[in-house]
Amino acid sequence: MSYDCPETLPISRNEFSQIELFKNVQFEKLAGFLLKCTIKNYEKDEVILDLSTRKKAMYILISGLLEVIVESEKDVTFTHMVEPGHCVGEMSVFDNSYPCAKIVAKEKSKVLYVPADTALSMVRVSHELCLNFLLMLSQRIRKDNMIVCEEQYHIRCIEENAKIDPMTGLHNRRWLEDMYTREMHRSNMGNFKLIAFMIDIDHFKQVNDTYGHLAGDQVLISVAQTLTRSLRPSDMPVRYGGEEFSVFLPGTTDENAKIIAERIHRNMENMSISLADGTILQVTVSIGYAERIENDTVESLIDRADKALYYAKESGRNRICKNCGEDGFKLI
C-alpha cells in the first residue's frame, strides 16, 4: 500500500520529514497511525484547547505559531511560543490528565491532530520518536529553568532597588530596618563595638526656599556622595529621611568614631556645590553620635544619636556632639 496518496494520509512523506518531532523516524513505521490523524486549520487568535477541554489529544504544528498560556493561582501569567515541528497537548496524553494551559493560534496555523490512543501507539512502536520527545521536553525544561532564573534575578533586582533611595543612591529606611537590626543583633551577641551617627544638613529649608527644590536635590546628592567618600567600606550609610542621614559603624571605638565624624564634618565644609545657574553653594552638617550599650535596639541607639544631633543643632549647628549617656552631651 502506498502511503504517499493525499486522499489517505493527512500529511505527505515530504511534510513528515520536515517535522522536527519526526526527525530520524521511519515514515513507514508511523504511516498506518497517521491514517487516524486529521489536519485542522486555525485562524489567528482562535483557541485550540483550554482548561475546559476534556478530549485528550496531541497537536503537532505543521505551520504557523502557537502560544501556550499558563495562569497560576496567584494571577501570574506565563507564556511561551511553539514553532512548527513541535507539539502541544502531549502532557495530557502521557500523564492522562486534563490540560493545565490554554493554547491559542498566534497566526493562521495548520495542525496535525493526533488522538491520545494513536499518539501512545506511535510512541510504543518508535524508539526514535521517544528520543525526540525526550529531547523536546528536555529543551523546554532547560528554557523554563532559564526563564525562572531570570525572573528570580529580576525580582531580586526589584527588591534591592526598593531599598535604594533613587535620588542619592544610598540605602533607605527599608534597608535600614533589615541590615541595622542584623548588625545590632551581631553586636549584642558578640559584645562588639557599634557606633551610630545621625547627620542633618544645616539650614536645608533655606536652600529650598532660596534656590528651589532642584537645588535642594543637588545638595542632597552632593552631601550623600561626600558622606560616602568620608566613610570606610564597612560603614553603613542610609538616607534616613528628608535632609537627615544615619550611619552605623560596626567595630568602631569611640576614638575612631570621633576621627570619622571630624572627617565628615571637614569634608562637608570643604565641599562646593555648583548649581545650574552657576551659583556655588557651600553647606555644613551637624552630627550626633552614640555608642551601643548592653541590650540596645536599633531604635534606642538611633534615638540617643538623634538626641546628640539635636543638641549639636541647638548649640549653633555645624557641630559634632556625642551622647555620653548619664553624663549628658559632649561637643567635639
For residue 79, the tally of other CB atoms under 10 A from its CB is 13
On whether both 154 and 177 belong to a single domain, the answer is no
- The answer as to whether 1 is a domain residue is no
Output the pLDDT for position 1: 36
Domain boundary among 134, 158, 182: 158
Domain boundary among 133, 158, 183: 158
Phi and psi, residue 77, nearest 5°: -105, 130
Distance between the two ends of the chain, CA-based, in angstroms? Answer: 103
On whether both 119 and 35 belong to a single domain, the answer is yes
> Cβ(59)–Cβ(114) under 8 Å?
yes
Q: What is the domain range of residue 100? A: 13-158
Compute the distance between CA of residue 60 and CA of residue 88 in angstroms, rounded to an integer: 7
On whether both 188 and 233 belong to a single domain, the answer is yes
Output the pLDDT for position 6: 46
Examine the residue annotation and report whether 243 is marked as an active-site residue of this protein.
yes
Compute the distance between CA of residue 82 and CA of residue 59 in angstroms, rounded to an integer: 11
Strand, coil or helix: what is 72?
Answer: coil
Cα dihedral value 249, 255, 259, 260, nearest 10: 0
Q: Which residues of the chain have pLDDT under 70?
A: 1-7, 72-76, 147-148, 151, 153-155, 157-161
On whether both 45 and 146 belong to a single domain, the answer is yes
On whether both 143 and 113 belong to a single domain, the answer is yes
On whether both 57 and 137 belong to a single domain, the answer is yes
| Pairing between β-strand 38-42 and β-strand 77-82 as defined by DSSP bridges | unpaired
For residue 250, the tally of other CB atoms under 10 A from its CB is 17
On whether both 24 and 136 belong to a single domain, the answer is yes
- The answer as to whether 201 is a domain residue is yes
Domain boundary among 125, 158, 191: 158
From 60, 64, 62, 58, select the one nearest 18 (Cα to Cα).
62
Q: In the chain, how many domains are there?
A: 2
- The answer as to whether 165 is a domain residue is no
On whether both 36 and 143 belong to a single domain, the answer is yes
Output the pLDDT for position 70: 82
> Could you tell me the CATH number of the domain that includes residue 26?
2.60.120.10
On whether both 130 and 227 belong to a single domain, the answer is no
On whether both 258 and 225 belong to a single domain, the answer is yes
On whether both 186 and 326 belong to a single domain, the answer is yes
Output the pLDDT for position 3: 41
Output the pLDDT for position 255: 94
Compute the distance between CA of residue 111 and CA of residue 105 in angstroms, rounded to an integer: 10
- Residue from 243, 291, 314, 326 carrying the catalytic annotation: 243
- The answer as to whether 327 is a domain residue is yes
Output the pLDDT for position 235: 93
